[in-house]
Amino acid sequence: MEHMRDEQTMMELIRSVAEEDERIRAVYMNGSRANPNADRDILQDYDIVFVVNDTSKFYMDDDFILKFGDVLYMQKPDEMDKMLGKPVCFDDSYGWLVIYTDGNRMDIHVERSGLGAVYEDRMCVPLLDKDGILEAVPETTDSHRWIKKPSDVEFITTCNEFWWCLNNVVKGIRRYEIPYAQDMLNCHVRPQLVKMLEWKVGIMTKFSVSAGKSGKYLHRWLDAEEYELFLETYCGSVAGEMWRSVKIMCDLFDDAARFTAVSLGFEYNSDEAQAAMQYFKYVKGLGSIEV
C-alpha cells in the first residue's frame, strides 16, 4: 500500500479535477465528512457528487475515476442493480465505490444537473459551483438523523419483538445450532436492544442527537459501565459465552425499557419480560447439546 494522501491533498485534487473538466458544472461532498458531529479519522470515505449535464460521458468511460489515483479494487452498485434486474437510470445518476492503492476510499457519483437531489441532502458541503447550481443548498445539519421519539405502539411492539424472539435464541443455543442462534440474536433481538438504548439516549438529550448507524455513537451518552456491558453482548460461538451475553442483553433491555416507559408515560409489560426470562432460565437449565 502507498502512503495515504491527507484530506487537504484529496480535497485539492477533487476541486482541480472539477475545475479542469468543462463537463462538470458543480461538485459537492456529503456523507460523514460533511457531518460536523461525526467522529473524524483517516478511514472516512470521501462521498463526492459531480453535477454534470450528461452522465453518459462518464459512466461509459471508467478513466474518469483514475484521475483520483490508482484503483486497488472497486464496486459499481448501479451496474450490479442492473444485472439483478432492479430499476436503474444511469442517465440520472451513476456511481463507483473505489478504494485506491493509498487506502483512501471515494464514493464517486455523477448526477444530472437539475435532478434536485442535492437540495434534499441536509449534510451537503458545496466544493465548486460554476453555474450557481448549489446556491439554495440548505445549511449542513444531521437533524434528519436524530433519534425520533417513539409512539406508545412502537414501544410496545419493540418490547414484544425483543422478548418473543428471545425464545428462538435460547432454543438455538441449547441445541447447539449456533448459526441459527447467532442469526436470531443479531438480526432480530439485537436491533430491538439498540433501538431501546437509542430511545434512552434520546430522552437524555431531548431527542437532539444521532446515535449513528447501528448505534455506533452510543458510547457518547451511555455511562462507561453500561456501554461496556453493551459491548459484552457481542459474543462468540461458545455456548457458555452466548448464555452470558444473552443474559446481559436482557438486563440491559429491561433497564432501558423501564427508563423509557417511566420517562415517556408508557406502560411496560413487565409480566411479559418476566415470562420470557423464566423460559430463558428453564431452557438454559436443560443444558446445551454440544456436538
The predicted pLDDT at position 291 comes to: 44
Q: Indicate whether 117 and 217 sit together in one domain.
A: no
The predicted pLDDT at position 121 comes to: 58
Counting runs of H as helices and runs of E as strands, what totals does the chain give? 10, 6
The residue among 143, 176, 195 that closes a domain is: 143
* Nearest-angstrom CA–CA distance, 175 and 63: 54
pTM for the full model? Answer: 0.75
* Strand, helix or coil for residue 39: coil
Q: Indicate whether 209 and 243 sit together in one domain.
A: yes
* Nearest-angstrom CA–CA distance, 278 and 135: 60
Question: 84, exposed or middle or buried, with CB in 10 Å at 0-12, 13-18, 19+?
Answer: exposed
The residue among 143, 178, 202 that closes a domain is: 143
Q: Indicate whether 119 and 151 sit together in one domain.
A: no
The predicted pLDDT at position 288 comes to: 58
CATH code, domain with 97 = 3.30.460.10
The predicted pLDDT at position 18 comes to: 96
Q: Indicate whether 131 and 150 sit together in one domain.
A: no
Q: Is residue 272 part of a domain?
A: yes
pLDDT digits (tens), the chain, 291 positions:
779 999 999 999 999 999 999 999 999 998 888 887 777 888 889 999 999 999 998 988 889 999 999 999 999 999 999 999 999 999 899 999 999 999 999 999 999 986 555 555 567 888 999 988 887 766 666 667 789 999 999 999 999 999 999 999 999 999 999 999 999 999 999 999 999 999 999 999 999 998 888 888 999 999 999 999 999 999 888 888 999 999 999 999 999 999 999 999 999 999 999 999 999 999 998 865 554
User: Do residues 256 and 196 make contact, with C-beta atoms less than 8 angstroms apart?
Assistant: yes
CATH code, domain with 225 = 1.20.120.330
Q: Is residue 19 part of a domain?
A: yes
Q: Indicate whether 152 and 275 sit together in one domain.
A: yes
Q: Indicate whether 151 and 253 sit together in one domain.
A: yes
Return the sign of the alpha-carbon dihedral for residues 110, 113, 117, 119.
positive
The residue among 87, 118, 143 that closes a domain is: 143
Dihedral angle over CA of 242, 187, 43, 107, nearest 10: 160
**Max CA-CA distance within the chain?**
71
Q: Indicate whether 133 and 169 sit together in one domain.
A: no
The two beta strands, 93-100 and 105-112, are antiparallel
Domain count of the chain?
A: 2
Q: Indicate whether 127 and 175 sit together in one domain.
A: no
End-to-end CA distance of the chain: 43
Q: Indicate whether 76 and 176 sit together in one domain.
A: no
Domain membership of residue 239 as a residue range: 146-285
Q: Is residue 291 part of a domain?
A: no
